[in-house]
Amino acid sequence: MKRSIHITIIVLGWLAVSLSVPVSVLAGTQLIPVTTGNDLQSQVKTTASKVIPVVVSIASTVMVRDQAFSDDALPFGLFKEPLAHRQYGQGSGVIASPDGYIITNHHVVADAVDVEVILADRRQFKGKVVATDPKTDVAVVKIQAVNLPAAVWGDSSQLAVGDFVLAIGNPLGLSRTVTFGIVSAVGRADVGVADFEDFIQTDAPINPGNSGGALVNINGEVVGINTAIASPTGGSVGVGFAIPSNMARAAMQSLLKTGRVVRGFLGASTQDVSPSLGKIFRLPDVKGAIVTDVQVKGSAERAGLKRGDVVVRFDGRDVMDSGQLRNLVAQAPIASKHRLELIRDGKVYQTELTIQESPRERAKKSQAASTASTVHPLSGVVFDDITLQLARQMDLSVNNGVVVTDIEEGSLAEASGLQPGDVVLELNRQHISSFTVFQRLADPLKPTDLALLLVNRQGNVLYIPIQGE
C-alpha cells in the first residue's frame, strides 16, 4: 500500500482543496536548500536604513455627517445637517522632494479637514493637501520644511516576477515598519481600487496603515506606492498591491503642474481577446486589445485604426489586454507619437498613433473656466446650527452663530481661507443667531456679490471676505 502525505491548500480563506501526494513522489525529489547569504542580508539592512527616513506617517481627520438626519438641499449648495462628528484615519506617505512635497494615496487624505504628518525622526508638521487624483488613487501633500531626505525613484517597468522588494510604512499605527518579500505579479488590473490600474502585486506583508507607503527594490529605489490588500480577514494574507512608480510619479508631476492629471486618450473602444475571439480573428496568441468602435476625429481614427483591428504591441511592448493598452495611452504625453502593431484580417500592420487629450477632460476644463464666474460666493460650504452635541464633537467655544462643517475643495470659500470648525457670527455685518437667519441673508447673494463673514476660530475673531467673480 502506498502511503500519502495530506496537504491542505486554503484559497483566500473561502475554499479549501485537499490533495494527497504519494510519498514515493516526494521521496524521489531532491530538495535544494536556499541560501540567502550575508550579502543579501546586509543589502536588505542597508536598504531599510536608507529608505525609512523618507517614509512618513499621515494622520487625517474627516467630518462625517449622518445622512439619515439631513434635510433636503437648499439653494446655492447650503445645507442644514444636525449631526456631524470627526473621524480619524491613518496612512503613510513618501517624501518626494527636500522642500516638503509628499506623495500618498488619494484615499488616505480624501475629504480631510486636518492632516498631520509625522517624520521618521518624530517631528510633526501640519500638512496641506495640494491636489488629488481619485482615478489613480494618488495625492500630493505639502509640509513647510526644508532639507528633507527624499526618495530615489526606480523604473517600475523593469520589475519582474521574483524580484526582491521591501514594503515600508506605518501598518496598524506601528511606525517605521519594514516587511520583505518578492514581486508576485505585475500589470494587475480589475482589482476595483481605482479607474486606472496597473498594480504591482507583492507578498511582502501589507496591512491597513501601509497605504501611501513605499515599495522599494533591493537597491532602495521606490518602485511603487503601497495601496491595497486582498484579504478576507482585513489583515495581510500575502496579497498586496502597489501603484507602479512610473504611474504614481507621472500623476504627481501632472498634479503639481496643472492641478489635475492630464491623460492620453485612444479615441476608440476596445475589449479583451478571449480564446474563441482569438480563433475568429486568426490571432497567434490569446492577447491584445480588439477595437470595437472608433470615434470620429479621435487619435485612433487618425492613426487609421478600424473596428475589428487587434492592437498587439505598443512601442514594441506586448499588449496583453484592453486595460493595459488604456494605461499605456493614458500615461503617454499629449502630442507624443507611438508605434502600434496590429493584426487586421490575419495580417500584421504598423501605424503611428499621436496621443490626444480626452475630449471629456477638455470639456470639463472649459466648463470649469466658464462657470467659475457664475457660482454663488458660498457655494460648496456646509453650514449648521450649533447644538450642544455638535459643540462637544467639534470642540467649539461658542454657542451662537452657525458652524462650518465642510468645504468643497477648490471652492471660493476655501480659497478665501474659510475652514471647517469656523463659527460664523455675522454675514455682511448682520448678526447671525441661527441657521434660518443665515439662510435668509445668504440666499439673495448674487455670484458677483461680496460675502463678508465674521468668524470665531478657536477663540480668535476675524473677518473673512469671500468675493464672487
Alpha helices in 37-122 (DSSP H): 37-51, 106-109
Question: Which of 57, 60, 107, 379 is an active site residue?
Answer: 107
- Cell 527594490 found at: 217
Q: Which strand (E) or helix (H) includes residue 186?
A: strand 177-188
DSSP 8-state secondary structure symbol assigned to residue 54:
G
Are the beta carbons of 287 and 312 closer than 8 angstroms? yes
Label the pairing between strands 112-118 and 55-65: antiparallel
Q: Find the angle CA(413)-CA(256)-CA(150) to the nearest 5 degrees.
A: 120
Task: Please indicate whether residue 336 is annotated as part of the active site.
Answer: no
CA distances from 252 to 79, 82, 130, 323 (A): 33, 37, 10, 21
Question: Which of 133, 137, 406, 422 is an active site residue?
Answer: 137
d(CA 351, CA 48): 45
Are the beta carbons of 454 and 466 closer than 8 angstroms? no
Backbone φ, ψ for residue 355 (5° rounding): -75, 130
The grid coordinates of residue 399 equal 454657542
d(CA 90, CA 60): 6
CA distances from 291 to 169, 184, 228, 304 (A): 41, 30, 31, 12
Task: Please indicate whether residue 137 is annotated as part of the active site.
Answer: yes
> How far is Cα of residue 72 from the mean position of the Cα atoms in its chain?
31
DSSP 8-state secondary structure symbol assigned to residue 67:
G
- Cell 507583492 found at: 202
Are the beta carbons of 108 and 91 closer than 8 angstroms? yes
> How far is Cα of residue 334 from the mean position of the Cα atoms in its chain?
22
| Beta bridge partner(s), residue 90 | 59
CB atoms within 10 A of CB 417: 14
Q: Which residues are catalytic?
A: 107, 137, 211
